């Protein structure tokens, strides 16, 4: 946990990182730091979205109990959060590509991208799109991650629109949302280990994908883990990783018992260069801001642009649609919060 300062960025060699990404990362990191400071100054070491009634700490109110070993349920929408849990929040990144211009591209077939996973269970919110007459266009701007002039370099198509931006590393079924106090506000929660989860309102709550006692929330699954091909961190965050968060430490030499005398052969390259260590072993919870100007600066461009032709078609989705699905889950979480308030008033 740290105040805004210079950042180290480590990415795989086909990822584009810009000054916009770094500045946005530092700003969100500083918001998390401020929230942590508020919690440590509070008598209960917690911060609260609302002071009206701390309803989510009432032991008489039944809460969802997960079936996957997580310590918190899937109905955490605006709960108070402890300083120790705030420390485990970390700005996430989401890999994207730009749909290439070849007319024979399989993803350009009519209806292919509109039939993305869970589009019926979680339809994108209209709030994620511009008003008429541009209502089918996402409010997100592709420029911060993916702008490219003509003639383009490498495999990067020139002048992409937001409808050209694709993702494949995760989907809405593996995503949650949560409302934090200012300055952080509403966030999307990316997949995290069950034992590390600090809580969010899962897109599947209460029965979107089937009964809660039969459907597990996707956690550490290759298809939805949201590999971000690297990470950024400030000096203070790296110190926290090494001294507190990461078993066996984050920095070399890897000589503790945790590494069993062979740190390199035990793990894949993604563990070291892709950030898997942080949101796997180190229990960090990656968050995406739902502010559209911040969200679009947490998208990073995979400039090899080859996953769109090698990954299964069913995994591909437009970034604008995914953002719209997240906003739909946010709306459901807001309704859940309001129903709880009405219930308490009637008691």
- State residue 299's pLDDT score: 98
Note down pLDDT in tens along the chain; length 347 residues: 444 467 899 998 899 999 999 999 999 999 999 999 999 999 999 999 986 545 444 444 568 888 888 889 999 999 999 999 999 999 999 999 999 988 889 999 988 999 899 999 999 999 999 988 776 899 999 999 999 999 989 999 999 999 999 999 999 999 999 999 999 999 999 999 899 999 999 999 999 999 988 899 998 888 899 999 999 999 999 999 999 999 999 998 888 888 887 766 678 888 888 888 898 889 999 999 999 999 999 999 999 999 999 999 999 999 999 999 999 999 999 999 999 888 777 76
- State residue 1's pLDDT score: 41
Place of tokens 């000096």: 235
Q: Which residues share a beta bridge with 285?
A: 89
Say if residue 144 is exposed, middle or buried (CB neighbours under 10 Å; 0-12, 13-18, 19+). Answer: buried
Residues 70 and 76: their CA atoms lie apart, in Å, by: 12
CA distances from 321 to 10, 97, 131 (A): 28, 14, 15
Residues 269 and 254: their CA atoms lie apart, in Å, by: 16
DSSP label of 333: H
Residues 10 and 23: their CA atoms lie apart, in Å, by: 15
* pTM (2 d.p.): 0.94
Omega cis (within 30) before 183: yes
Q: Which residues share a beta bridge with 8?
A: 233
- State residue 61's pLDDT score: 52
- State residue 3's pLDDT score: 47
Terminus-to-terminus CA distance in the chain, angstroms? 40
- State residue 62's pLDDT score: 60
Residues 26 and 142: their CA atoms lie apart, in Å, by: 20
């Amino acid at each position: 946990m740290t105040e805004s300062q210079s950042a180290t960025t480590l990415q795989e060699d086909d990822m584009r990182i810009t000054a916009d990404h770094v500045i946005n990362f530092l700003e969100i990191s500083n918001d998390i730091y401020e929230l942590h400071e508020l919690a440590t100054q509070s008598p209960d070491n917690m911060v609260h979205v609302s002071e009206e009634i701390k309803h989510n700490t009432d032991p008489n109110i039944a809460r969802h109990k997960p079936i996957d070993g997580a310590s918190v349920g899937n109905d955490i929408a605006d709960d108070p959060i402890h300083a120790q849990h705030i420390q485990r929040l970390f700005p996430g990144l989401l890999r994207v590509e730009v749909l290439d211009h070849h007319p024979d591209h399989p993803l350009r077939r009519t209806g292919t991208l509109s039939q993305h996973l869970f589009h019926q269970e979680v339809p994108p919110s209209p709030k994620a799109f511009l008003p008429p007459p541009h209502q089918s266009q996402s409010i997100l701007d592709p420029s911060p991650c993916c702008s490219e002039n003509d003639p383009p370099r490498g495999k990067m198509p020139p002048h992409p629109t937001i409808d050209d931006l694709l993702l494949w590393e995760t989907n809405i079924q593996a995503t949650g949302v949560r409302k934090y106090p200012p300055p952080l506000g509403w966030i999307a929660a990316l997949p995290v280990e069950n034992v590390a989860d600090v809580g969010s309102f899962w897109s599947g709550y209460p029965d979107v994908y089937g009964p809660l006692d039969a459907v597990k929330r996707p956690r550490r699954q290759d298809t939805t883990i949201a590999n971000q091909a690297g990470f950024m961190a400030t000096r203070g965050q790296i110190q926290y990783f090494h001294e507190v968060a990461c078993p066996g430490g984050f920095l070399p030499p890897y000589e503790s018992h945790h590494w069993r005398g062979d740190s390199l052969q035990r793990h894949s390259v993604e563990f070291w260069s892709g950030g898997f260590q942080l949101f796997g072993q180190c229990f960090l919870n990656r968050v995406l801001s739902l502010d559209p100007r911040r969200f679009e600066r947490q998208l990073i461009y995979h400039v090899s642009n080859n996953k769109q032709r090698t990954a299964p078609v069913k995994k591909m989705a437009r970034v604008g649609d995914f953002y719209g699905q997240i906003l739909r889950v946010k709306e459901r979480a807001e309704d859940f919060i309001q129903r709880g308030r009405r219930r308490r008033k009637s008691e």
